[in-house]
Amino acid sequence: MSATIFFEGGGEKGATQSKLREGLSKYCAKLRPSSSRLRIVAGGGREQTFDKFRRAAEGGHDGELAVLLVDSEGPVTANTPAEHLRLNGGWDFTALLNNRVFLMVQTMEARFLADRDALSAFYDGGFLPNALPGSVTNVEIVRKEDIEPALKNATRKTKTKGEYHKIDHGSALLALIDPLKVGAASPHAASFNQFLRGL
């Protein structure tokens, strides 16, 4: 079975999308069988990503999956990711049968909070883990608007990397974090991890 993951982020430029694609590819490679065929598309903006996913899902063939991976943008109370996105964005999945939908709750950076050892190793001195919100056992409850400012605060005194930067640092951190730690701290990440293992 082959799958294409349409992943929110990367901005409008090919170079930044390439960095993000590489980061998620390395994350996925820790979980998926080497024989599986997996393609990753950094879709840019949220609506752009959904449009790319929708076109692929509508034109899909047997044995090919279109996979959507986007931020939840807030707490999730719906029973499924697709229902959450319908209620909070008006996205319609009813005709998109050959697909999977996953959420990063509440945003991609929440995953980093689950593996503070990886953050500490990446920032190599001066990193302040106690400045991060929430706990490593439940990252989904941390509000989206609190995460990036907290990452910037925790990294502002680091020796070589400096303050957290979403594209440059986020892409590298995606490649470094431990999917098992992330899955233990986020049920939605655990669901995505399980999907990857099953490919």
193 and 156 within one domain: no
Provide the number of structural domains found in the chain.
Answer: 2
Cross-strand bridge partners of residue 44: 9
99 and 118 within one domain: no
192 and 97 within one domain: yes
Is 143 contained in some domain?
yes
Can you spell out the DSSP letters for 78-108? SSSHHHHHHHHH----TT--SEEEEEESS-T
Question: Beta-carbon neighbour count of residue 15 at 10 Å?
Answer: 9
> How much is the pTM?
0.93
DSSP tag of 36: S
Q: Is the pLDDT of residue 98 over 70?
A: no
pLDDT in tens, 138-166: 999 999 999 999 999 999 999 889 999 98
pLDDT bucket at 73, cuts 50 / 70 / 90 = very high
pLDDT for res 131 = 94
Q: Is the pLDDT of residue 191 over 90?
A: yes
Q: Is the pLDDT of residue 64 over 90?
A: no
SS3 of residue 157 by DSSP: coil
pLDDT for res 192 = 97
Q: Which residue has the higher pLDDT, 168 or 88?
A: 88
Does residue 7 come out as left (phi exceeding 0), alpha (psi in the -120 to 50 range) or beta? beta
Is 177 contained in some domain?
no
The span from the CA of 137 to the CA of 145, in Å, is 19
Question: Which residues constitute the domain of residue 6?
Answer: 2-106+186-198
Q: Is the pLDDT of residue 78 over 70?
A: yes
- Listed in sequence order, the DSSP H helices in 30-143 are 46-58, 81-89, 110-113, 116-123
Lowest pLDDT segment from 16-20, 104-108, 113-117: 16-20
| Tokens 């996913």, located at residue | 53
Tell me the average pLDDT of the chain. 91
